[in-house]
Amino acid sequence: MLNRVRSAVAHLVSSGGAPPPRPKSPDLSNAPSAQPAVPPEAPRSPPARAGSGSSAPAKTVEARASFSRPTFLQLSPGGLRRADDHAGRAVQSPPDTGRRLPWSTGYAEVINAGKSRHNEDQACCEVVYVEGRRSVSGVPREPSRGQGLCFYYWGLFDGHAGGGAAEMASRLLHRHIREQLKDLSCWSSQKEVTHESLVVGAIENAFQFMDEQMAQERRGHQVEGGCCALVVVYLLGKVYVANAGDSRAIIVRNGEIIPMSREFTPETERQRLQLLGFLKPELLGGEFTHLEFPRRIQPKELGQRMLYRDQNMTGWAYKKIELEDLRFPLVCGEGKKARVMATIGVTRGLGDHNLKVCSSTLPIKPFLSCFPEVRVYDLTQYEHCPDDVLVLGTDGLWDVTSDCEVAATVDRVLSAYEPNDPSRYTALAQALVLGARGTPRDRGWRLPNNKLGSGDDISVFVIPLGGPGSYS
C-alpha cells in the first residue's frame, strides 16, 4: 500500500497525468524541503529566459519576465517554464534538499488550464521575528532578540485581473503584520483587552495597510488587479486564520472537520453590499439599484407587483415595480456566477483600486472590503496527532472538492506514510491538487467521475498540527 500510493502520486506529479513510456523517478520528490524562513528581500524564482539562439518577440520576453513563483519552490529556469505550461499542468512542490518549510509544511500548486496567461496564485511561508516597539512604561529600549517574539506565517494569495497584487502581497503582508505586532510589547495583563484581541486587531490593521500601500503604488509599480488573501499566523500557542476572499481553510482533526474560514462572495455579503448602496446611493451612479429581484425586471412590468428583497431582508416580499427598479441590480447571479455590479465575483480582498464597471467610469472598490475575518484556534487545548492538519486552498481546490473529500484524502494519504516521515505532508498537498486538477482527456481535464476538474490555478498548504512538538 505504501509503495503504491507513493508511486502513483510521484508519477502524476511528474508526468501531468499522461501515461509513462516506462517507470521512472519523478522530477520532484514528495518532501517539502526548503529554507525554514526565506528572507523577505530574497528574489523570487528566476523568470524563464529564451534560449541563446532565440529570436522571440520582445512582447513574449517581457511577459515571461513578469511571471514568478514562490521563492521556496527554488525553481530553475526550466522548472519555471514547466510551471507556466498550461498544457502539461505539472504539479510543483519544494525540492528535497534537506531543508524543509516550517513545521514540515506541505505545499503544492498547479497552473490553470488557460483561464489566464500565467499562474496568478502566489504563496508565502515565513518565520518572522518581531522586536518590541518600547517597554511597558513607554520608554524606548534597545533592540534585543530576548525582548521580542516570533511568529510563523503562511499565506495564499489568489490574484485576479493580473498577478501583480498577489505577488506584492506575498512579499509584503507579513512585514505589515510584523510591524503591527510590535505593539504587543506594550500589553499589560491588567488591561481589559485580551492578548488574543490585540493579535486579531494587528492582523486586521496589517491587511488595511497592505491595501493602502497597493493604492499608493499601483501606478509606479504596475500593481494590476487584486487578490484574495488567506493568511495563517501561529503565535504563542494559537493559530489565527485570516481570510479575505473565496479561498478557504479547514482543520481535519481525528477525522472531524473544523471550518476555519468562510467565503466572501456577492451572495454571502449581499446585505452588506445592499446596505452600503442604500446609505450611499451616489456609489450606484444611477446605473444600479440596491434592491434584489429574482430576475431582471422588464419595462413592460412597470406597475406590476414583483418579488424583491432589500438590505434588511433574508426572505422575499412583494412590491410595486417603479422606474428606478429597471436599473441593473447591484448583486446579480447565483453561485460562482454571482457578481457585484456585473463585474467581480468576490467581495473582500486586496487591491482592485482601478476596477471599474465595464464601459463605465463607476468604481467598484467602495463595495470591496480589504478587512479579513479572523478565526482563532487554540492548539494548547487539544492533544494533536501527526495526522491532524490545517489545509489551506485557493478556490481552485474548493470549486470541485468538498470538505468531506479533503478529509478522506487526508486519511488515505497520511495512513500510507510513517507518522514521523515529514514528506507525508507534501504528498498530501500534491494529492489534493491532483484530485482537483484531474487528468487530461478528449474534453478537457476530468475527475474520476468524468466531471470537469478545476480549470483554475490551484494552490494548497498542508500544515501539520501534531508534528511541531511543544508549540513554544
Could you read off the pLDDT of 325-344 as tens digits, one per residue? 999 999 998 888 999 999 99
Write out the three cell numbers for 15.
Answer: 508526468
Which residues sit opposite 328 in a β-bridge? 288
Using the CB atoms, write b or e for 432-453: b if 16+ within 10 Å. Answer: bbbbbbbbbeeeebbbeeeeeb
Give residue 221's pLDDT: 61
Any idea what DSSP says for residue 251? E
Mean pLDDT throughout 386-409? 97
Give residue 188's pLDDT: 63
Using the predicted structure, report yes or no on whether residue 410 has a pLDDT greater than 90: yes
Give residue 219's pLDDT: 66
Mean pLDDT throughout 77-83? 93
% of the chain with per-residue pLDDT over 90: 70
Using the predicted structure, report yes or no on whether residue 145 has a pLDDT greater than 70: no
Q: Judging by DSSP bridges, how do beta strands 389-393 and 444-446 pair with one another?
A: unpaired
Say if residues 331 and 340 touch (Cβ distance below 8 Å).
yes
Task: Report the candidate in 133, 173, 132, 180 with the shortest Cα–Cα distance to residue 153.
Answer: 173
Give residue 19's pLDDT: 35
Write out the three cell numbers for 190.
Answer: 491588567
Task: Report the candidate in 333, 133, 126, 354 with the shortest Cα–Cα distance to residue 225.
Answer: 354
Q: Judging by DSSP bridges, how do beta strands 328-329 and 288-289 pair with one another?
A: parallel
Give φ, ψ of 448 to 5 degrees: -55, -30
Contacts 24+ apart (CB under 8 A), 384-387: 384/253, 384/465, 384/466, 385/254, 385/419, 385/466, 386/414, 386/419, 386/420, 386/424, 386/464, 386/466, 386/467, 387/254, 387/411, 387/414, 387/415, 387/419, 387/466
| Cα radius of gyration rounded to whole Å, the chain | 24
Q: How far is it, in rounded angstroms, from Cα 174 to Cα 164?
A: 17
Mean pLDDT throughout 166-186? 92
pTM of the entire structure?
Answer: 0.84
Highest mean pLDDT among 54-58, 232-236, 333-337: 232-236
Name the pLDDT band for 471 (thresholds 50, 70, 90).
very low
Q: How far is it, in rounded angstroms, from Cα 137 to Cα 334?
A: 54
More confidently predicted of 187 and 281 = 281
Mean pLDDT throughout 449-472? 84
Using the predicted structure, report yes or no on whether residue 105 has a pLDDT greater than 80: yes
Using the predicted structure, report yes or no on whether residue 313 has a pLDDT greater than 60: yes
Using the predicted structure, report yes or no on whether residue 7 has a pLDDT greater than 50: yes
Using the predicted structure, report yes or no on whether residue 413 has a pLDDT greater than 60: yes
Say if residues 102 and 152 touch (Cβ distance below 8 Å).
yes
Give residue 132's pLDDT: 74
Give residue 100's pLDDT: 86
Say if residues 430 and 9 touch (Cβ distance below 8 Å).
yes
